[in-house]
Amino acid sequence: MNKAGALVNMEAYQEAVSVYKEYLNIDDQNPMIHTYIGECYEKLEKYDQAVDYYNKALTLDKKFTDAWYGIGLCYLYKKNLSDSLFYLNKAIHLDPDNPDFWFTLGNVHAGLGSFRDAIKAYSRVEELDPYDYEAWIIHAELEYGSSGAWKAVDILKKAYACTSDVAQINYHLSAYYYLDGNREYCLNFFRIGLQLNTNEYHQAFKICDDMQHDPEIISILKQKNK
């Protein structure tokens, strides 16, 4: 197991599969090993083989949550969102406090166009792990699409207590404040974003293209480049 784990850490997934299969010659009743093999195949993008091993794990233990989640991920990667939803809900039923499960569920709901359900899922991630800035960002994007920039600002303001040191959060806040007509706050958060990570300022422009043509934004960037 340690040898296979070391290979996984080296991203040598095919070699790790071979070692895990050697372990199965000693003990083939361990659902965790079947799940580890499934995860390796998942990393190799061999999703059908991954699902086979996840199912073997579930044959041994119907409550092995990582296997349910693994199958849900594989179906997500295969763009089979309805099946992914089924397996993710199984995983969450068994482990309702796992933020990764809820984050992936939010992605599936968003892919299905069920934006209210996606927002509920991302909100649950924020409750369980308020430092997960990606959940806050996607949540804000969905709220912007349905309710406008002010709502996106409201979401990211809540995130700021735990994510103020994340450049992307500051750039997104900057863009939404620009769209909401608050230039002072827009420029303030844009400057903070530049202090944290100079290379990610295009995050703001993806949300609001007008910002890259704004004279004050251009001036701030020129000063930073100097």
Whole-angstrom distance, CA of residue 77 vs CA of residue 47:
8
> What are the structural domain ranges in the chain?
1-123, 130-226
Percent of residues, the chain, with pLDDT higher than 90: 98
**Domain 130-226 in the same topology as domain 1-123:** yes
pLDDT digits (tens, 9 = 90+) for 135-158: 999 999 999 999 999 999 999 999
d(CA 134, CA 141): 11
pLDDT tens digits along 86-134? 999 999 999 999 999 999 999 999 999 999 999 999 999 999 999 999 9
Task: Say how far apart CA 101 and CA 108 lie, in whole Å.
Answer: 11
Write down the pTM of the prediction: 0.93
CATH number corresponding to 1-123: 1.25.40.10
- Of the candidates 167, 169, 170, 181, the one whose C-alpha atom is nearest the C-alpha of residue 210 is 181
Give the integer Cα–Cα distance in Å for 221 and 198.
9
What is the CATH number assigned to the segment(s) 130-226? 1.25.40.10
49, exposed or middle or buried, with CB in 10 Å at 0-12, 13-18, 19+? middle
Stretch 4-21: mean pLDDT, rounded?
97
pLDDT-based confidence at 29, cuts 50/70/90? very high
Mean pLDDT of 179-200: 96
Question: For 4-18, what is the mean pLDDT?
Answer: 97
What is the reported pLDDT for 211?
96
